[in-house]
Amino acid sequence: MKDDLPPIRLRPPLLAIVLFLLASLAVCGAVYSQTLKDGFDQLSERAEVRLAQHNDKFLGQITRFQQLVATLARHPELVEAASTGNGDALPDLLLSFALATGASEISLTDAQGQFVVSSSGTSEKETRTLVEGDHIKTALDGGLGWSHGLESAADPRTLYFARAIFDEAGPVIGAVAVSVAVASLEFEWSFGPEPLAYFDNAGVAFVSNRPSLALRHDTRLASISPLRFDSPGDTLRSMFDYQERSAFGHRLWQVEDGAPLPSEALVLSQFIPRVDLTGYIFQDTKSARERANLITFLSGLIIGLAGLLLWVTWLRRQTLARQLRVEEAANIELEERVARRTAELKNTQDQLVAVSRLSALGEMSAGISHELNQPLGAIRNFAENGKKLIQRGDEAAASENFDFQIGQVDRIGRIIKSLRAFAKNEPQQISEVEITSVVREALDVSDLRINREAVEVKATGLEDEVSVDAGRVRLQQVIVNILGNAMDAIDGQPEKTIDIDLATTSTAAVLSIRDSGPGLEDPERVFDPFYSTKDPGGSSGMGLGLAISHGIIGSFGGTLSCRNRPNGGAEFTITLPLSEAQS
């Protein structure tokens, strides 16, 4: 047989290799894409937090100067100077406030916005930007003035704040203005790992934590034209070249080499209405890409190892193919033998059930003749008496004799019916059975021995009809067997009682049979085949009755159990599922 087998193939099919490689590439691509997306999401969350922290710090710095102009606008000396137009005595006072707060310049104007005095004592011409910006116009209109501009080529970036000065009657009599060098604010910032810049509406990076990024002009970020301020000289510089694209819903900049920005940056922006600037933070994507590359590499390595394992497994299976095919025929033959053996065992079991039933019939056969002869003799006697009563003309007494004879015939019929049902071979299928009638039939079959041995049987729960899924004859056989064992157990006992109780749960019927005997010697072995406490040399059986009964109840989908009662005696419990009609 082995020589006829085809040779073993040691190489996997080419199609399987191609499909595995394509699947591996698809999995690695999906892993890289998902990991990179997760990395970008984490970077975006981190950038959002960092940008919010920078915004809070920046606005906190600005609030200090907004509060300064509000305080100075209520200072008595500044109010008097604004109303008189004479501020010769104020330069030292304004200078002290400037030095204490870090302001670059503090100046005072009248109600028409004309220069009055400044903290440096400079001329009106030198402080023209300070007093002529939009912030002064806004302040003279009653609001909090704010603007930004370029002062000089050396350090041009300046923030301006202004507040109106009111006299006691209410009209605006002047304004106080404060200028702050952006460089002094940036000096207070810690050097963060992420580049940060605040762009105005003209697209100019006016505030930044990277000096090389400050005053870079990006027309793509501008929303107004021309610029809001004039550039002194060549102060403004063009923005670094970059390519903007979107990935997984995130904004990315691909920046040229040499720029103070990451080569690839995840960009997050937020507009700040209080200063009319938009904050941009640039998060380096290098860590996210390195992590995605590492996880993808590990995934590919795992897939490669899995592929190698599959190849080794496939090779092993090919090597074992011959042996498996050789054994296949033997397995088929073995299965056929097992099937035949199983059928023989089932037939043997059925024969054992029949033998057990016939054995019980044999034990009862001695008393059957007496049980039948007694009513037959009574019928003969009463028939002769009835004949004499008719001859005498006593028809009433003769009618009573006939009624008695009918009752005896019915008794004979019940005995024969129960014995015939007990002895016949029942089909193996399960059907709906009324368990109360089966119990009564079993009692009828056992009635002769019950009466002969003066056993008191107490039955409860048999009033209502209870239907279960079982086989009628086989169930009757089990109950007769348990009753017979109970009568064997109470033989010779001063009290001979058997209690039968039928109860139901939501899904099952529970039949309990209890005796007043000494109990079971070994309840764990009761259902073992050939286990018996009776005389092995006698005619009491081979110890198969309860083993067969246990198998019969199990075939119905139920259980047969036993235990010793606390107050003495044994208890057998049959639990069977209720039929659909009953449940």
Q: What is the pLDDT of residues 65-107, one digit of tens each?
A: 989 999 998 888 888 888 887 878 888 888 888 888 888 889 8
What residues form DSSP beta bridges with 244? 253
SS in 3 state form for 193-233?
CCCEEEECCCCEEEEECCHHHCCEECHHHCCCCCCCCCCCC
393: left (phi over 0), alpha (psi -120 to 50) or beta: left
Q: How confident is the model over 326-375, as pLDDT tens digits?
A: 777 788 888 888 888 877 777 766 666 566 555 555 555 544 554 565 56
What's the whole-number average pLDDT of the chain?
Answer: 80
pTM > 0.85: yes or no:
no
Nearest to 201 by CA among 230, 223, 227, 231: 223
Q: How confident is the model over 23-45, as pLDDT tens digits?
A: 889 999 999 999 999 999 999 99
Structure token pair of residue 31: 């892993």
Which domains does the chain possess?
9-284 (3.30.450.20), 429-583 (3.30.565.10)
Most confident of 97-101, 508-512, 526-530: 508-512
Q: How confident is the model over 108-149, as pLDDT tens digits?
A: 888 888 888 888 875 544 444 455 667 888 888 888 888 888
Q: Has residue 498 got a pLDDT over 90?
A: yes
Burial of 268 (0-12, 13-18, 19+ CB in 10 A): buried
Q: How confident is the model over 382-400, as pLDDT tens digits?
A: 677 777 778 877 777 777 7
* Residue carrying the six token digits 């002009």: 217
Euclidean distance between CA atoms 543 and 581, whole angstroms: 37
Q: What are phi and psi of 260, to 5 degrees?
A: -75, 20
Sequence-ordered strand ranges (E) for 39-150: 105-110, 115-118, 144-150
Q: Has residue 56 got a pLDDT over 80?
A: yes
Which has more pLDDT, 470 or 393?
A: 470
Contacting residues for 498 by C-beta, under 8 A, at least 6 apart = 455, 456, 457, 458, 483, 486, 487, 490, 513, 514, 515, 516
Q: How confident is the model over 183-238, as pLDDT tens digits?
A: 888 888 877 788 999 998 888 888 998 888 888 888 888 877 555 555 554 578 88
CB 171: neighbour CB atoms within 10 A? Answer: 9
Q: Has residue 573 got a pLDDT over 90?
A: yes
Q: How confident is the model over 246-259, as pLDDT tens digits?
A: 999 999 999 887 78
Q: What is the DSSP letter of 580?
A: T
Structure token pair of residue 473: 């004859």
Q: What is the structure's pLDDT at 382?
A: 67
CB 522: neighbour CB atoms within 10 A? Answer: 9
Indicate the helix (H) or strand (E) that contains 511: strand 508-515
- What is the pLDDT confidence band of residue 302, given thresholds at 50, 70 and 90? very high
Q: Has residue 408 got a pLDDT over 70?
A: no
Q: What is the structure's pLDDT at 491?
A: 86
Q: What is the structure's pLDDT at 537?
A: 43
Which has more pLDDT, 130 or 311?
A: 311
Average pLDDT over residues 462-480: 87
Q: What is the structure's pLDDT at 114?
A: 84
